Amino acid sequence: MGIFRTLFLTVFLFFSVTAFADFNTTLRLAEQGDVLAQYDLGTLYAQGQEGVTQNYQEAVKWYQKAAEQGDALAQSNLGTLYAQGQGVTQDYQEAFNWYQKAALQDDALAQYNLGTLYRKGEGVSQDYQEAFKWYLKAAEQGEALAQSNVGVLYAQGHGVAQDYQEAFKWWQKAAEQGDTQAQYNLGILYAQGQGTTQDFKQAVKWFQKAAGQGDALAQADLGTLYRKGEGVEKDYQEAVKWYRLSAEQGNALGQNNLGLMYESGKGVTQDYTEAVKWYRLAAGQGLPKAQNNLGLMYQAGQGVDDNTSYQQPTEQGLTEAKFNPDYRYDQDLGITQDYILAYMWINLAAIQGDAKAEEGLDTLARRMTPLQREKARQMAQACQAKHYKGCE
């Protein structure tokens, strides 16, 4: 099962154009100082609406005029343009100033974005208590993203005492509004029984909602519930379906679990080569489980070369194995075991605290020479330095 989805930076514009006759009329009113027309004109330029060519510099110009007259929506949107560097040089301090002005007028989106700047320490000193304060103000106005982030701060104990019941409360509010992050996190609470009674059926329900919106973590965890038959009838094919959707989005957990299904032949035809493919992708992202699994495949000589399990040894394969001390060729199985790469990957997993890897490393080490172990350790160090990319 995954972990809580962490906070994310989202700053965005709120577009709402008041009724107007035509562009020329709006322009004329804006030039006369009409604050609503100035806001509308800024929005037309920001979005490129009503036949107006998108022009962020013009959007900044007109939002600024409306913002200086105290219009909260214009202040909020101007803050976002500064935060994103659209139509103006990116400047988080200016973004902070305009968000703060709008937030003090109870603009929910500005309050949310102000909270994000405090959390990230952008344009202002990092302050989780202030972040929580502004997220909560926006959340109490019904802003789903703020509700979701209030839940995360409660779950993490950042800026407020850790309280899973409060996290559950706020994630439920956001989840019911369709917020994907909250739906996923709510599923985690139900699955783990934190802040609420453990209920795998409810976990399935919320994972399904988030997974249906394309959330890769939810897809991976939903696959696991189908694989284990928790909260739903066990169904390996459904598990494979959700693991694949997650894996194809690049999620390491989904990739590793899809590899497990290919290795075991559950819900899919057993295929060691496919298993190694998915393990390798996940291992390259630094996932310890996948690194250990990939190492075990090298140790067993399964799916890691052109030979397949139980194939009779070829003369070439036998010769290569005999004269390369880093490999062991099993004449009974017709497979080549690569202890160097096996040790490298399992060692990388062990370094990250994977208990199974730590245990397996000792067993593997007894089959290797000191020189082989040293070579594998050096390869592991080099692999770490390359962030697990191009290690083989």
Measured CA angle at 299 (ends 295, 301), to 5 deg: 110
Q: 250: helix, coil or strand?
A: coil
Q: Residue 14 — pLDDT band, cuts 50, 70, 90?
A: low
Q: What share of the chain in percent tops pLDDT 90?
A: 83
Residue pointed to by tokens 């009974």? 332
| Tens digits of residue pLDDT in 362-379 | 999 999 999 999 999 999
Residue pointed to by tokens 């609420």? 196
What is the reported pTM?
Answer: 0.84
Amino acid 336: pLDDT: 63
Amino acid 321: pLDDT: 36
Q: What is the mean pLDDT of residues 350-367?
A: 94
Phi, psi of 388 (to 5 degrees): 70, 15
Q: Residue 19 — pLDDT band, cuts 50, 70, 90?
A: very low
**What residues are paired with 327 via a beta bridge?**
338
Amino acid 9: pLDDT: 42
pLDDT at 12 over 90: no
Q: Residue 178 — pLDDT band, cuts 50, 70, 90?
A: very high
pLDDT at 181 over 60: yes
Token readout for 229 is 């038959």
pLDDT at 221 over 60: yes
Amino acid 4: pLDDT: 46
**Letter string b/e over residues 34-67, b meaning 16 or more CB atoms within 10 A of that residue's CB:** bbbbbbbbbbbbbeeeeebeeebebbbbbbbbbb
Token readout for 338 is 């690569």
Q: What's 199-283's CATH class?
A: mainly alpha
The pLDDT mean for the chain works out to 89
Q: Enumerate long-range contacts of 162-170, CB under 8 Å, 24 or more apart.
A: 163/195, 164/189, 164/194, 164/195, 164/196, 165/195, 165/196, 166/195, 167/195, 168/194, 168/195, 168/196, 170/139
CA-wise closest residue to 131 among 269, 7, 44, 307: 7
Phi, psi of 7 (to 5 degrees): -65, 160
Amino acid 49: pLDDT: 78
pLDDT at 190 over 70: yes
- Residues 189 and 169: their CA atoms lie apart, in Å, by 11
pLDDT at 55 over 60: yes
**What residues are paired with 330 via a beta bridge?**
335
Amino acid 124: pLDDT: 97
Amino acid 24: pLDDT: 86
Domain boundaries, the chain: 199-283, 286-392
Q: What is the mean pLDDT of residues 241-262?
A: 98
Phi, psi of 335 (to 5 degrees): -130, 150
| Tens digits of residue pLDDT in 76-124 | 999 999 999 999 999 999 999 999 999 999 999 999 999 999 999 999 9
| Tens digits of residue pLDDT in 273-327 | 999 999 999 999 999 999 999 999 999 999 987 443 323 333 343 333 333 444 4
Measured CA angle at 252 (ends 340, 336), to 5 deg: 25
| Tens digits of residue pLDDT in 317-349 | 333 333 344 444 444 444 467 999 999 999 999
Amino acid 337: pLDDT: 77
Amino acid 127: pLDDT: 98
Token readout for 388 is 């697990």
**What residues are paired with 337 via a beta bridge?**
328
46-50, 164-168, 177-181, 281-285: range with lowest mean pLDDT:
46-50
**What residues are paired with 117 via a beta bridge?**
none
Amino acid 1: pLDDT: 64
Q: Residue 381 — pLDDT band, cuts 50, 70, 90?
A: very high
> Who's near 240: CB < 8 A, 6+ residues apart?
223, 258, 261, 266, 267, 268
- Residue 327's H or E segment, with its range, is strand 327-330
Residue ranges in the chain assigned as alpha helix (H): 23-31, 35-47, 56-68, 72-84, 92-103, 108-120, 128-140, 144-156, 164-176, 180-192, 200-212, 216-228, 236-248, 252-264, 272-283, 288-300, 315-323, 339-351, 355-365, 370-385
Residue pointed to by tokens 């000193």? 125
**What does the radius of gyration of the chain's CA atoms come to, in whole angstroms?**
28
Amino acid 6: pLDDT: 43
Q: Residues 286, 288, 292, 293: is their CA dihedral positive or negative?
A: negative
13-27, 58-72, 290-304, 378-392: range with lowest mean pLDDT:
13-27
Residue ranges in 249-324 assigned as alpha helix (H): 252-264, 272-283, 288-300, 315-323
- Residues 277 and 293: their CA atoms lie apart, in Å, by 11
